[in-house]
Structure 1
């Protein structure tokens, strides 16, 4: 279920006017989507409401790694794949995450709870290897610590759904 067109209209209306608002709008639309993405219908509506071409909306959305044009999980797990994290043991952390989640880099768990993504840099070289889950940064990771973090998110989801 993607963001409704009414929600897209409300986001565009509340944002700054004109083309400068495009990135702000894309991020807000994605944040309002239960599947963490900007749907094709939303792209069309954004282009129409901002008076820009669809290709401008697509090119902006595809340029930023934080924006997705395909459905993703409830929690986005971003793994830094740059040299400092690589040298600090990123590969072992990534393998542990892939095994725990049952997906490869770029995949989404069958239950739709997690998407595992690789990113060029998290800006956390001082604490590599690092991952970012949603908006929370974790560093100085071991494979065991990364798995424990993922499991804690699973427990939080269970608590939220039963409350």
Structure 2
């Protein structure tokens, strides 16, 4: 501290206002408090995920051959569905449908997956950017790379088609 300031403070009868001292103390306590982040609610809890998703999330399994037409139609609508994902904030129901036999034999689904590869990547990015869809998928331990299509249905219902089994295997 420069000498001239010391002389002024020494000769001054005025102490800093109490609110300045209190502000300084509170600021120091907040900065030095290690427990502050611990008070936040994490996204790992089931309650937090249920609050974000707010919809019934159901899982089922289907055969590629039996539902090829439906899955191909969903794949062909991938670009529109990726845009809708960004605009969707609530749903009544999310169905996650596992398609384990997708690579076992050649089906029209394989051609659609190849033709719409870029659009499917955009859909995955849209799902990753949406708290609603991301936590619905993540709560079932589904990797984004396994999502092959999405279908919007009536009554605010969405079906997400997943490559593989519900345990994550192919």
The interval holding the TM-score normalised by the smaller chain is under 0.3
The structure with more strand, counted as a fraction of residues: 2
Larger RCO: Structure 1 or Structure 2 (Cα < 8 Å, ≥ 6 residues apart)? 2
Normalising by the residue count of structure 2, what TM-score does the alignment of the two structures yield? 0.26
- Is the radius of gyration larger for structure 1 or structure 2? 2
